[in-house]
Amino acid sequence: MHVIIFDDLKHKSFYPITQTRSVGDIRCGILKLRQRLGQAFDAQQECVLIDPLLADIYQERHADWLINTVPEGDKLYLNSRLKLDDAAQAEITALQPNQALYSGEYCVAVRTSQALAFGFQDIPDAKKRQSQILLYQHLTDIVHDNSRLITRDFETVFYDADNFFEIETGVSVLNPYQVWLAEGVTLAPNVVLDASGGPIVIDCEARVMAGSVIQGPAYIGKKSVVKIGAKIYPGTSIGPVCKIGGEVEDSIFQAYSNKQHDGFLGHAFIGEWVNLGAGTNDSDLKNTYKNVNTYDYQSQSVIDSGSQFMGCVLGDHVKTGINTSLNTGLVVGTGSSIYGSKLFSGFVPDFSWGEAESLTKYRFSAFCDTVAIVKQRRGLSLSENEQVLLRQISGE
């Protein structure tokens, strides 16, 4: 049986993060959503249904994937927004041919031999029934499920994997059976790994510098660096090739992003190629202790996040100047560069440039010049397909 991970028509509620990637490639826990579903349902090949705007860049990066095409035969389609737990996995595993599970109007999973396309809602001839399985509705849901999924991923993927746990003199470890170190990890003196509240996974060639404290559940990605004296609190996932300093709590870094300096970041989602200037801080709790509101691209309106705690969402290639202040629930669109002493609140549109009260449009040519330099520093380049996608997002 072939496993196909599909984005549905609610993918825009995960903008700006999904302007440049599938919902399935959102990081949550240790793995991405797609990777977790593939592991749980024994996917033998990467097969995805995604927004056609992303198809060219995905085909460029993943030549061996089936993108918006599906194989012949029995197929299990899984919604990339699926909130996986043991009960959901069991209910989906029990599906018989031509059976479908729905959550409201959205398909959760369907087993069928039919060839379905991106954006499908109806499934002819399939027997449909409502399910209690949950689907993520917004990036807020992703941020708040991070601790649970770090723990789940540790137990299902990493616990029995080869562990290169070896502690240097001066490193303190609490609850070492919940600590997993990959090959090539470097821990400097006076590092504290506190797994008493949940597992800590530090991936290949990551480096934790002197005086840092990491409290689990936490994940540090491949080749990432935790800077001197950093404080990493529970619920934090740092993707590959990031540099993280200061104080971080309940936040997710997708990959290739830097927060090297002091400053607080809480309940935030940070895309790729983001750089936070020294002293950048976000707020994740209102003084009134009421639920935080945040911007939703799908409805183009402000919505209730459903939580007292929600910080910022920064799309890919966002840059902040020194001492930038980010209010609760702030959403900053892809490609924006913001700075100044005034508090940023609400929504900063894609490719904005300037201070909170005087934003202008970031010139696309200047933006691309910066991106090319930034990516070159990591041995990468800005491809033509990537430029096409980013230009569409910019509206230029």
**What was the pLDDT predicted at 160?**
82
CA distance 343 to 234: 27
Confidence of residue 128 (pLDDT cuts 50, 70, 90): very high
Confidence of residue 396 (pLDDT cuts 50, 70, 90): confident
Q: Is the pLDDT of residue 124 over 90?
A: no
CATH class of 2-137: alpha beta
Q: Is the pLDDT of residue 288 over 80?
A: yes
Query: Containing H/E element for 293?
Result: strand 293-296
Q: Which two tokens stand for residue 199?
A: 């597992």
Tens digit of pLDDT for each residue in 194-231? 999 999 999 999 999 999 999 999 999 999 999 999 99
Task: Report the SS3 class of residue 338.
Answer: strand
**Average pLDDT for 43-70:** 96
**What was the pLDDT predicted at 18?**
98
Task: Report the SS3 class of residue 185.
Answer: coil
Look up tokens 């290639």; give the residue: 317
Residue 203's identity, in one-letter code, is: D
CA distance 282 to 265: 5
CA distance 191 to 145: 27
Which of 94-98, 119-123, 158-162, 320-324 is least confident? Answer: 158-162
CA distance 144 to 38: 22
Q: Which two tokens stand for residue 219?
A: 């994940």
Angle between helices 52-61 and 384-394 (to 10 degrees): 160
Task: Report the SS3 class of residue 208.
Answer: strand
**What was the pLDDT predicted at 335?**
98
CATH 2.160.10.10: which residues of the chain?
143-394
Average pLDDT over the chain, rounded to an integer:
96
CATH 3.90.550: which residues of the chain?
2-137
**What was the pLDDT predicted at 168?**
75
Tens digit of pLDDT for each residue in 91-103? 999 999 999 999 9
Confidence of residue 319 (pLDDT cuts 50, 70, 90): very high
**What was the pLDDT predicted at 161?**
82
Topology of domain 143-394, per CATH? UDP N-Acetylglucosamine Acyltransferase; domain 1 (2.160.10)
Q: Is the pLDDT of residue 163 over 90?
A: no
Look up tokens 């096409």; give the residue: 388
